[in-house]
Amino acid sequence: MSDTEIHGLCPPRFEPVRAAFAANFAEGGEQGARFALAQEGEIIVDLWAGTADRAQSRPFDQRTLTPVFSTTKAVASLLIARLVSQGAIAYDQPVAEIWPEFAQAGKGKITVEQVMSHQAGLAGFPEPMDPALWFDWDAICERLAAMAPLWPPGSASGYHPITFGYLAGEIFRRADGRTMGTALREDLAQPFGLDLWIGLPDSEHERCADMRRPPSMPNLGELTEVRKAAFLTKWSSPAGRSGADWRRAEIPSANGHATAPALARLMAVMACDGALDGVQVLRPGVADQAARRRIVGDDLVLPYHIAWGAGFMRNEGVGLYGPDDEAFGHSGWGGSCAFADPDRRLSGAYVMNRQSLYLIDDPRPRRLIEAAYESL
């Protein structure tokens, strides 16, 4: 695929980014992809190439929407930060004050920030269930409220691949009255022109890229009971319904659909102390509060030493999002990512439809982000 035609915006000083993007295709690592960079919320690089469908007959273009899997968690985390900014909730507040049923099974003292930083011990369900139950929001929230933690809350982080979206989403719904998908659309996507969705209407489905799944599961390290519950049971992720049902559902941990520029501009809120296009989306200081380290150590689910903010993966120690330890973001299964660098007021995102085996450290976006920093 060395002759893949590259489209989009790339000023001469960012030629290393274009070269890195082309190399990802030339080496056979891509089918369709897009990378965008924003400074102060303004898109300064936007590259796309390849094909969007399995038959490789439909171009991956400016209208293509891509499932971004866990990169959706960055969006959910910003929505929680908005409630903190509005004074509707506080990071150090017990979840049970917002969602009383959550206090069951000894969870009364778990705080919002412990849930957001994967410390709540609710990474997955050890007991068998129908994987189609994930499409029933209230049923999953009832199970989470009744569940006993899988480890002592606050003692360690253990990544919550799917349950994170229901925990954060139910906290949001109890405090705001709307679902995260509705609030995203009404408060951010429509006002700022962001092509970004949690819960995709049928009218947009024809724009979706077909995902090319990786050939096998990523290496999770030692298969502990917690890792099995989070990732490896037959019911650890939604199944048993159509692809259209999956797109329609609102699962704020896993099924966002977006373009790279939409994610890059949204993350500019986090890079620019809460501001986008001159509008204060978050009160000054709240973005820093959201990104502040809550816990650091060997994660019980992901085989990495990770520092977590309130939903954001901090760059320290993993170096996924450029050279600055204060940068942060989130990555999604198979390669997508979105990040913010407050020191440079820079944000960016990468989306693609050929998924890799890497959990968070996919070399394709790393190469692009490193080239971007070289160009600054």
> Are 268 and 357 contacting, i.e. CB atoms less than 8 angstroms apart?
no
User: Residue 333 corresponds to which amino acid?
Assistant: W
**H-helix or E-strand containing 351?**
strand 346-352
Q: How many CB atoms neighbour CB 316 within 10 A? A: 16
In this predicted structure, what is the pLDDT of residue 169?
99
In this predicted structure, what is the pLDDT of residue 3?
81
Q: How many CB atoms neighbour CB 119 within 10 A? A: 25
In this predicted structure, what is the pLDDT of residue 1?
41
Give the integer Cα–Cα distance in Å for 375 and 371: 6
The CA distances from residue 131 to 22, 125, 135, 240, 312, in Å, are: 39, 11, 8, 7, 27
Give the angle subtended at the CA of 227 by the CAs of 225 and 233, to the nearest 5°: 80
Q: Where are the beta strands (DSSP E) in 250-327?
A: 256-258, 275-276, 279-280, 295-298, 305-308, 313-314
Residue-wise DSSP of 158-193: ---TTHHHHHHHHHHHHHHSS-HHHHIIIIIIHHHT
Residue whose token pair is 């971007």: 372
In this predicted structure, what is the pLDDT of residue 72?
98
Give the integer Cα–Cα distance in Å for 262 and 176: 24
Delineate the domains of the chain, giving CATH numbers in brackets: 65-356 (3.40.710.10)
> Which one of the listed residues 57, 70, 85, 356 is annotated catalytic?
70
What's the CA dihedral at 120, 123, 127, 132 to 10 degrees? 120
The question of whether 236 is a catalytic residue gets the answer no
Strand-pair category, 346-352 with 337-341? antiparallel
Give the angle subtended at the CA of 199 by the CAs of 195 and 200, to the nearest 5°: 55
> Are 99 and 174 contacting, i.e. CB atoms less than 8 angstroms apart?
yes
Give the angle subtended at the CA of 180 by the CAs of 178 and 184, to the nearest 5°: 105
Length of the chain equals 376
pLDDT one digit per residue (tens) for the chain, 376 residues? 458 999 999 999 999 999 999 999 999 999 999 999 999 999 999 999 999 999 999 999 999 999 999 999 999 999 999 999 999 999 999 999 999 999 999 999 999 999 999 999 999 999 999 999 999 999 999 999 999 999 999 999 999 999 999 999 999 999 999 999 999 999 999 999 999 999 999 999 999 999 999 988 788 899 999 999 999 999 999 999 999 999 999 999 999 999 999 999 999 999 999 999 999 999 999 999 999 999 999 999 999 999 999 999 999 999 999 999 999 999 999 999 999 999 999 999 999 999 999 889 899 999 999 999 999 9
pLDDT in tens, 255-291: 999 999 999 999 999 999 999 999 999 999 999 999 9
In this predicted structure, what is the pLDDT of residue 31?
97
In this predicted structure, what is the pLDDT of residue 217?
78
Give the integer Cα–Cα distance in Å for 328 and 314: 4
Residue 339 tokens read as 């990040």
Give the integer Cα–Cα distance in Å for 19 and 370: 12
Cα–Cα nearest to 113, from 127, 92, 89 = 92
pLDDT in tens, 6-47: 999 999 999 999 999 999 999 999 999 999 999 999 999 999
Residue 82 tokens read as 């908005």
Give the integer Cα–Cα distance in Å for 158 and 167: 14
**H-helix or E-strand containing 288?**
helix 286-291
Backbone dihedral region of 273: left (phi > 0), alpha (psi from -120 to 50 degrees) or beta? left
> Are 250 and 260 contacting, i.e. CB atoms less than 8 angstroms apart?
no
Q: How many CB atoms neighbour CB 3 within 10 A? A: 7
